[in-house]
Structure 1
Amino acid sequence: MGLKSLIALGLLTIMPLASVAQDLTVHFTGDFFVPSCAVSIDDVDLGTYSVSDFTGVLMRTPAKVVTLKATNCSHVSVASVLFSGVADGTVSGGNNFKVTSVSGNISGVAVYLAKADGTKILPGAPSTALNWDSPVVNPSITILASFIQTTSTVTPGVGRVFVNAQFTYN
């Protein structure tokens, strides 16, 4: 290699090479939503009983199935229900829902609620989260309701129990 070639090669290594640049545009998109459901529950008539049907403290009437229905749910994966109401003040009935007298002077009974598997629902205690596999569109929650005897004597009358079901989902 001659001196001219070496000089040309040296100049090439110290001279900047031409570079190419290209501008790119990136588009980022996203979808933000609020999960939604329409939830309903029907009033339940627990039946009519004679005071002689109640044979002792903690005796329960046959359970009625109560269904909390959710419709038109979108993007819901987990739901839970909190049942709240006035707790019965008796020693035996403290973890049940208080019956309020509408006529007569009903006493000695409360309302007992349980999950479908029989696990008792306490007033104000959140239920275990229910996992819904997406895309469940119309899920439901089944509970069982019955009267429970809370004192040794049941006084007749017509009663009513107010229970709030707070449905939380995400």
Structure 2
Amino acid sequence: MKQMMMLSACFLLVAGNALAADGTIHFTGNITDQTCTVDAGSQDLTVDLGNVAQSALNGAAGMKAAPTRFTLNVSECPDTVTGANVKFDGTSDGVNQNLLALDSGTGIATGVGIEIADRNGTPIPLHTASTDYPLAAGANSLDFIARYVSTGTAVTTGTANGTSQFTINYR
């Protein structure tokens, strides 16, 4: 009897898994050699967000520090490439998945993440492509903004560094 119940439970698990498909995803794209060159200074960039007062972010989730502009420079863009978007990756903040988490370690601030935004200040959720930037043949600058954003009502003091990788997708 015990074996029959276990066999029935296993069958139900397998049958449930077989019915779990709700749709299909088709991934498309191309691998191309028609891209720009990311300038050396943009390949390993440090953006100084400065020393921000705890009181500027304390009190509510979503409070934002002053933005800091940064630029990714590309060159040698072929005339066949007319646009690009940028996707920023890294570890998502535990409270707000759209924000970049602070690097782990001792003495780290809490209650805050890093927001990355496009040149107009529109936030770019982590792991999501930015809006398209137009590109011309030759050299181009892709401008962005970064800032601290509180993720809760209480922010503690400490080191507030974050690390993101980026990928440029060409059009």
TM-score strictly above 0.5: yes
Structure 1 CA distance for aligned equivalents of residues 124 and 58 of structure 2: 23
Q: SS at the partner of 1:97?
A: coil
Contact 2:56 2:63 in 1 (8 A): no
CA RMSD of aligned residues (A): 1.9
Q: CA deviation at 1:107?
A: 0.7
Q: SS at the partner of 1:121?
A: coil
Q: SS at the partner of 2:157?
A: strand
Give structure 1 regions of 4+ aligned residues with deviation exceeding 3 angstroms.
none
Q: CA deviation at 1:103?
A: 3.8
Structure 1 CA distance for aligned equivalents of residues 153 and 131 of structure 2: 33
More strand by share: 1
Q: CA deviation at 1:102?
A: 4.1
Structure 2 CA distance for aligned equivalents of residues 36 and 125 of structure 1: 20
User: Which residue identity does 2:77 align to in structure 1?
Assistant: C
Unaligned stretches of 5+ in structure 1?
Answer: 1-32
- Which structure is larger by alpha-carbon Rg, 1 or 2? 1
Q: SS at the partner of 2:138?
A: coil
CA distance 1:105–1:82, change in 2 (3 Å): closer
Unaligned stretches of 5+ in structure 2?
Answer: 1-31
**Structure 2 residue 108 is the aligned partner of structure 1 residue 109:** no
Q: TM-score, normalised by structure 2?
A: 0.70
Equivalent of 2:87, from 82, 107, 117? 82
User: Which residue identity does 2:142 align to in structure 1?
Assistant: I
Contact 2:38 2:73 in 1 (8 A): yes
Structure 1 CA distance for aligned equivalents of residues 52 and 130 of structure 2: 29
Q: TM-score, normalised by structure 1?
A: 0.71
User: Which residue identity does 2:73 align to in structure 1?
Assistant: K
The alignment covers a number of residue pairs equal to: 134
Which residue of structure 2 lines up, in the alignment, with residue 145 of structure 1? 146
Structure 2 CA distance for aligned equivalents of residues 54 and 101 of structure 1: 20
Q: CA deviation at 1:51?
A: 1.8
Q: CA deviation at 1:66?
A: 0.9
Equivalent of 1:59, from 34, 59, 63? 63
Which residue of structure 2 lines up, in the alignment, with residue 73 of structure 1? 77
Structure 2 CA distance for aligned equivalents of residues 122 and 89 of structure 1: 14
User: Which residue identity does 1:146 align to in structure 2?
Assistant: R
